[in-house]
Chains A and B, each alone.
Chain A
C-alpha cells in the first residue's frame, strides 16, 4: 500500500493519524466479491425484498398478534433443539470438541428438563452457550472459498459454498424429509418439509420484527449492501 503525501491543511486532518485509519480499512477494500450472477442476484433481491415486505411481514405480524411471545419462543427453542445434529456434527468436523460437548449437554438437558426442547434451561440456568455451526462454515474452516454469490429465492443471500452446505445440512436435519431416512424425520413428505420450513421462517421473523428494516436503512443500494453484509458476516463466523 503506497501512501500519497497529503497536506494537513484542515483541522479534521490534523486531529489524528488519518493514514493509519486508511491502512486499517483499505486492506478490506480490495476484497472484491466474485459476482457473475449479479443481474439475476439483483432481480432476486428485489423479489425477496418484496416478498418480505408484502407477504412475510404481514403474516408474521398477524401470527405474532394471536400467538403470545413465550409460545413463539418455545417454538423457536423446539426447532433449534431438534436441529442439534447439524451443530453437533459440524463442531466435530471442525475439531471444536468442547463446543460439540456443550451442544450434546444442551441437547440432553433441554430435551428432558426443557420438555422436548420447548424451554432452554441449558442457557437460562446452566450458562451453556449454543455453538451455531453449519456445513458452509465447516468447508470455510478448511479453506474452501466462498465461490460466487447467489441470492436464493426466499432464503436470501448465500454463495456457492454455503449453498452446498445447506444441502449437506439438510441431510442431517430431522426437519427435512429424506427418502430412506424416514425414521429420523419429522415430515413424511416434501410438502410437510416446506410447511415446517415456512412455519419456522414466519415464527423466527415474528421474534425479530423490524430487524430487516433496520438493517436496510444502512443501505444506499440494497443488493450490494446485503451481499457484502452477508459475505463479511460469514467470514467472521468462520474465523470464530
Chain B
C-alpha cells in the first residue's frame, strides 16, 4: 500500500515534462511498473492500454529531438512548417512502433540497472527483459536540456540496435532518390 502511494506520489511529482537526474531510475522504474500493470489488466481493451501507456511515457520522450536527429543534415534545410509536419508524423510513427512492441510483453521479468552517466549531459539507463533462455536489453538514452535539470529520452536501443540510428539510415537512403514530401507521405 505504502509502496503504491509512493509510486503515485513520484508519478504525480514528475507528470510535468522531463525528469531530474537523481530521479531517472526511480521514475523509470515507476513508469515501467505502471505500464506492466496496465498491460496485464485484462479488463482494458488494447486501445485503452495504448492510450494509458502513452500517457505515462510521453512526458519523458523528446520527439522533437528524435525527429531532428533522425533527419540528420537534411533537418537544417527544411522550412519551419516542414519541420513541424515532419516532427508530427515522426512522433506518430514512434508511438505506434513503441506500442506495437509493448504488445510482445509476455510476463517476462523486468529489471532496471543503475543509470550510467556517459557524459555530463548524457545518461544511459539499461533495462533487462529476462525471458526463457534469453535476455533482451533495452537502453534508454537521456539528454539534459540546456540550462535545466530536466532530462529527456532521445534514443532507445533495442537488443543493441539504436532505433533513431536505424531511422536515420533509412531516411538518408530514402532521400537520396526521393523527395522530402514523399518521405512525409510514407510516414
CA distance A238 to B159 in the complex (A): 12
With a cutoff of 8 Å between Cβ atoms, the chain B residues found around residue A76 in the complex are: 132-133
CA distance A20 to B121 in the complex (A): 10
- Select the stretch in B4-12, B39-47, B163-171 that faces chain A: B163-171
Asked whether B132 lies within 8 Å of A207 as measured between CB atoms, the reply is: yes
What's the tally of chain B residues with a CB closer than 8 Å to chain A? 43
**A12 is contacted by which of B87, B146, B160 (Cβ under 8 Å)?**
B87
Over the window 5-28 of chain A, the binary record of Cβ atoms lying under 8 Å from chain B Cβ atoms (1 yes, 0 no) is 010001011011110111001101
Tell me whether A217 and B97 are in contact in the complex, defined as CB-CB below 8 angstroms, given that A12-B83, A73-B132 are known contacts: yes
Asked whether B146 lies within 8 Å of A16 as measured between CB atoms, the reply is: yes
CA distance A17 to B87 in the complex (A): 18
Asked whether B161 lies within 8 Å of A233 as measured between CB atoms, the reply is: yes
With a cutoff of 8 Å between Cβ atoms, the chain A residues found around residue B72 in the complex are: 22, 25-26, 29
In B142-175, the 8 Å CB interface with A consists of 143, 145-146, 154, 159-174
**A229 is contacted by which of B121, B134, B166 (Cβ under 8 Å)?**
B166
Q: Which of A77, A225, A235 has the most CB of B within 10 A?
A: A225
Asked whether A229 lies within 8 Å of B173 as measured between CB atoms, the reply is: no
In A217-240, the 8 Å CB interface with B consists of 217-221, 224-225, 228-229, 232-233, 235-237
Majority DSSP secondary structure for residues of B touching A? helix
- Select the stretch in A91-99, A142-150, A208-216 that faces chain B: A208-216
Q: How many whole Å from A149's CB to the nearest CB in chain B?
A: 14
Majority DSSP secondary structure for residues of A touching B? helix
- Select the stretch in B30-38, B50-58, B62-70 that faces chain A: B62-70
Tell me whether A130 and B159 are in contact in the complex, defined as CB-CB below 8 angstroms, given that A12-B87, A29-B172 are known contacts: no
CA distance A236 to B169 in the complex (A): 17
With a cutoff of 8 Å between Cβ atoms, the chain A residues found around residue B1 in the complex are: none
Asked whether B104 lies within 8 Å of A21 as measured between CB atoms, the reply is: no
A-B contact count (CB 8 A): 105
Q: How many whole Å from B140's CB to the nearest CB in chain A?
A: 15
With a cutoff of 8 Å between Cβ atoms, the chain B residues found around residue A57 in the complex are: none
With a cutoff of 8 Å between Cβ atoms, the chain B residues found around residue A189 in the complex are: none
Known: A123-B133, A132-B134. 11 other contacts (CB 8 A): A10-B83, A21-B69, A26-B72, A73-B132, A76-B132, A129-B130, A214-B103, A218-B97, A224-B170, A228-B169, A233-B159
Residues on A close to B: CB < 8 A?
6, 10, 12-13, 15-18, 20-22, 25-26, 28-29, 73, 76-77, 80, 120, 123, 129-130, 132, 207-208, 210-211, 214, 217-221, 224-225, 228-229, 232-233, 235-237
Residues on B close to A: CB < 8 A?
64-65, 68-69, 72-73, 76, 80, 83, 87, 96-97, 100-101, 103-104, 121, 130, 132-135, 143, 145-146, 154, 159-174, 186
Contact sample, A vs B, 27 pairs, CB 8 Å cutoff: A10-B83, A15-B65, A17-B121, A17-B146, A21-B69, A21-B154, A22-B73, A25-B72, A25-B165, A28-B162, A29-B72, A76-B133, A77-B133, A120-B132, A120-B133, A129-B130, A214-B97, A214-B100, A218-B97, A219-B170, A220-B186, A229-B166, A232-B166, A233-B159, A236-B159, A236-B160, A236-B161
